[in-house]
A and B are shown apart, each in its own frame.
Chain A
Amino acid sequence: MSALLVADDLARSFPGRRGLANLLRGAPPRVRALNGVSLHVDRGETLAIVGESGCGKSTLARALVRLIDLDEGQISFDGMDVRSLAGPELRRYNRRVQMVFQDPYGSLNPRMTVGQILEEALAVHNMVPAPQRRARVVELLSLVRLPADAASRLPHEFSGGQRQRIAIARALSIEPDLLIADEIVSALDVSVQAQILNLLLDLQQRLGLAILFVSHDLRVVRHLAHRVAIMYLGRVVEVGPADAVFDTPRHPYTQALLRAAPSMEPPEPGTTRPNRTAALTGELPSPLNIPTGCPFHPRCPEARDRCTTDVPPVHVGERRHTATCHLLD
């Protein structure tokens, strides 16, 4: 399998809030959202990006579709240098790399009917001749399992799950090779979430779509992903095949994350609960002030002296299961 998209050493920082204290100190602090992120997505596969808030996963998603400019790094898509694209070339890139957003209430223009939203996408990219657009809209709606009469309605007439289907239909209308899904099921109830996950699995199988699935929900990620990348404070700390990452996690952060996620197995009556202490102590550090050495060391139960000073190297294991940790030396 060849890589469809390769990201290499991406970095991006934002100016922090300019408080009075910062003004006196001079330059405003910088939030380092991405701090040297490298990864790749193969054709037809699902790569999941997992992490807690502030880990940079949404910044990464937006940078890949060029909604956010990068400070450093390279993105290449099917041999193209993505960061240098402009004008019509950028629009052609966007046709092939689509994105669905987290908030199904915000990502659809509230004043356009679903039919207009889909027809506009088809028209701008000349996907089908004008007379056939209406028929194609109906096809797209049935692809995401919405009735044909949805076309004449406005977004506010739909539930959250239905709106997310509309957003997916819009993204798929221009037949992309890669779909970037930024927390698209986080705002949905679990039964609706299951419907959307089924839809994604089905679409991927039918259309051979590659999916970059950004989420904080480990259960959902394990269900959907071929490969998983775990992010912490703007860095990828572990990446590998989904079963390897979930069954034999190598990085202490991944291990803690898996222990912290609620399991669906209640303890047997009469037994005491197995994990009585929290998986991980301490707060999430602020991306304004990233710890030296390994960024995870202040919370790491197994941190050593070296972890506080040296940036850990990347360890490549079997099946390209890599982790960034001194303990693996």
Chain B
Amino acid sequence: MSAVQEVAPREAAIAMAPGKRAPLKLGSSTLVGAVILLLFIACAAFPDAIAPYAPNKFDYRATLRPPSWAHPFGTDNFGRDVLSRTIWAARIDLQIAVFCTLFPAIFGTFVGCLIGYTGGAIDSVFRRIVDVVITIPFLVLVIAIVAVLGPGLTNMYIAVSAVNWIVYARLIRGEIIAQKRRDYAAAGQVMGYSASRILFRHLLPNALSPIVVYWMTDMALAILLGSSLGYLGLGAQPPTSEWGVLIGDAKNFMTTAWWMSIFPGIAIVIAGTGFSLLGDGLARLVRRR
């Protein structure tokens, strides 16, 4: 075996290929997204410090005032400051973004994992459920459930969660099935690893990235949904400041006091853009791996 000893030291000295990854570049758009979200989080965390007025302070001497230095976003029909209300609404809307998606993301991921890994009859049943659920428009389904439970934020969370987890489960199921076909999954099986180890320690981390990216988008969708329900009077209830509620309050003044609806509307658009930009950045980051 002298040849081995001869070769071994030379081979051991093989220089490892230098790290090929370029320094992380997320791009300016991701940065913009992150800054936008941080701004909204600041508004949600310290509304009393940022907002110039209390959100529900009536001022009957100054009703329906257009934007001015004292009231940059104008005032509403009760003389409430629209800027302050929009800032306070960030708290509720971010809460909606998180509460409408957190449970579905976690529960859906868990269920999707099990279904994708197990396959067979459970998978067939799940696919039928998905087929049925996706034929009904999401908003209609949620409204139907809220109508049964009664309006309000909590019931809205319940309604959205009851439907939304299926989206996550469907997404992760496909990912798990794709990962399961790869050789490292087979290698884990041959290594004698338990099913739960293969599923949660090996497959899930590799299947998770699309979920994280979708979650960002879904939070933007949740804000839109929450505001829609707020506008319809099924979500947050007045006098709570919520962008949809603000726009709903403004519907009788659309032509006379445009500022009442435009500014909360812009807030929704900007928040949605923030989540989308950050989601795109995350997607890029995830795709590099």
Contacts and interface: CB of A to CB of B under 8 A. Distances in A.
Interface string B220-243: 000000000000000000000000
B182 A106 contact: yes
Nearest to A198: B7
A92 interface: yes
Contact of A111 (B1, B189, B206): B206
Nearest to B184: A109
Given A153-B16, A158-B17, A195-B11, A167 B187 contact: yes
A106 B190 contact: no
Contact of A124 (B4, B192, B289): B192
B284 interface: no
A159 interface: yes
Interface in B141-190: 182-184, 186-190
A157 interface: yes
B136 interface: no
Interface in B177-209: 182-184, 186-194, 197, 201-202, 205-206
B19 interface: yes
Contact of B184 (A90, A106, A124, A157): A106
A170 B20 contact: no
A147 B16 contact: yes
Nearest to B9: A145
A94 B198 CA distance: 15
B1 A202 contact: yes
Nearest to A182: B183
Contacts of B202: 109, 112
Interface string A158-190: 110000000100100010000000000000000
Interface residues of A, number: 42
In this complex, which of B8, B11, B20, B192 has the most chain A Cβ atoms within 10 angstroms of its Cβ? B192
Contact of B191 (A111, A147, A170, A202): A170
Nearest to B19: A157
Main secondary structure of the interface of B (DSSP, over half): helix
Bin the interface of chain B by size.
Answer: 20 to 34
Contacts of B17: 157-159
A99 B186 CA distance: 9
Contact of B193 (A124, A142, A153): A124
Contacts of A108: 184, 187
Nearest to B208: A111
Contact of A65 (B19, B20, B184, B190): B190
B289 A99 contact: no
B14 interface: yes
Nearest to A116: B201
A101 B187 contact: yes
B239 to A, nearest CB: 49
Interface string B8-31: 100110101101100000000000
Contact of A67 (B7, B184, B186, B201): B186
Given A124-B197, A147-B12, A99 B7 contact: no
A94 B191 contact: yes
Contacts of B12: 142, 145, 147
Given A107-B187, A111-B205, A111-B206, A205 B1 contact: yes
A101 B189 CA distance: 12
B191 A174 contact: yes
Interface string A53-67: 000000000100101
A288 interface: no
9 contacts: A94-B192, A109-B202, A111-B289, A112-B202, A142-B12, A145-B8, A157-B16, A157-B17, A157-B19
